[in-house]
Amino acid sequence: MKPWYEDENFWLRIAPVLFNSGRWSAAPEEMEKAMRLLKLKRGSSVLDACCGVGRHSVELARMGYRVTGVDQVAEFLEAARDTADAEGFEIEFIHADMRSFFHPFEFDAAICMFTSIGYFENLEEDRQVLSNIRMALKPEGRLLVEVIGKEVVARNFRKNEWYEDSDIGLVASEYRIIRNWTRLENRWIVVNAGERGEYTFSHRLFSAAELEALLLSAGFKRVECFGSLAGAPYDENAELLVASAWA
């Protein structure tokens, strides 16, 4: 069996949870803050690594950036192209695994949002993804990574939660810290129109120091960490872990 992160059917099944209307409506503010944090001029070229259905790619195009989105899920890219075409945006979408993506010195900046790093069992594969992004950046280009930091998880940890969503029905989640605080295991149960789906997966937890060290080991020259996309300090009030790294 393929690992969950290589299983296209897994991604298609959980897509309604990942990309509900709330996620789409948050994209304009997220990208406005992200581009302000990167100090990126309109018209610059941006790589959206692990772009999914393109909610950030489309918003960046709307803001006047030249965008390339990359994802390994073909149906996600088809949906992204449909959205871009419907809105009249020219966006390049590439079907590729970020572990093998190689487009050297092409982009002014890159984003990797929504905890899209840390899937792999082997940390070296995460390092390879970041190294490939670094190689894709022009000299002095910058990468913005957004994840749920280990410190934030520790402060806010709950074993379970549930909510109702008008798009997808009832979602119940269970969480476990595993492997000495290196990974977070997620179990989602989704009930919609009488149908029940259950999905289990885990991803690596990075502290700010660990993410900084990984980025430096992938070849980035300097890393700065923040507690929000607005650039708040990464301290006891942090909402997220956001790292800005210079190629």
Reported as a single tens digit per residue, the pLDDT across 88-145 is 999 999 999 999 999 999 999 999 999 999 999 999 999 999 999 999 999 999 999 9
Longest dimension (CA), the chain: 53
Q: What is the average per-residue pLDDT within 208-234?
A: 98
Structure tokens at 34: 């992200």
Q: What's the confidence (pLDDT) of residue 101?
A: 98
Instruction: Output the average pLDDT for the chain.
Output: 97
The Cα 60–Cα 64 span in angstroms is 7
- The tokens describing 16, both together, are 């309604």
Q: What is the structure's pLDDT at 17?
A: 96
- pLDDT above 70 as % of the chain: 100
Nearest partner of 160 among 172, 148, 178, 177, judged by Cα: 172
Residue 14 has pLDDT above 90, yes or no: yes
Contact 40, 108 (CB under 8 A): yes
| Predicted pLDDT of residue 82 | 98
What's the pLDDT at 146?
A: 98
Identify residue 191 by its one-letter amino acid code: V
Torsion angle (degrees, nearest 10) of CA 60, 134, 147, 89: 20
Encode pLDDT of 41-95 as tens digits: 999 999 999 999 999 999 999 999 999 999 999 999 999 999 999 999 999 999 9
How many beta carbons lie within 10 A of that of residue 130, not counting itself? 25
**pLDDT at position 193:** 83
Start-to-end C-alpha separation, the chain: 36
Q: 183-192 and 169-178 as β-strands: parallel, antiparallel, unpaired?
A: antiparallel
pLDDT at 33 over 90: yes
Share of the chain above pLDDT 90, in %: 97
Q: What is the reported pLDDT for 167?
A: 84
Residue 93, exposed/middle/buried by CB under 10 A (0-12, 13-18, 19+)?
buried
At residue 42, the pLDDT reads 97
Q: Which residues contact 32 (CB under 8 A, 6 or more apart)?
A: 63
What is the arithmetic mean of pLDDT over 173-191?
98
pLDDT of res. 194: 86
> What's the pLDDT score for residue 117?
98
pLDDT at 130: 98
pLDDT 10s digits, 147-173: 999 999 999 999 999 999 988 999 999
Exposed/middle/buried for residue 128 (C-beta within 10 Å: 0-12, 13-18, 19+): middle
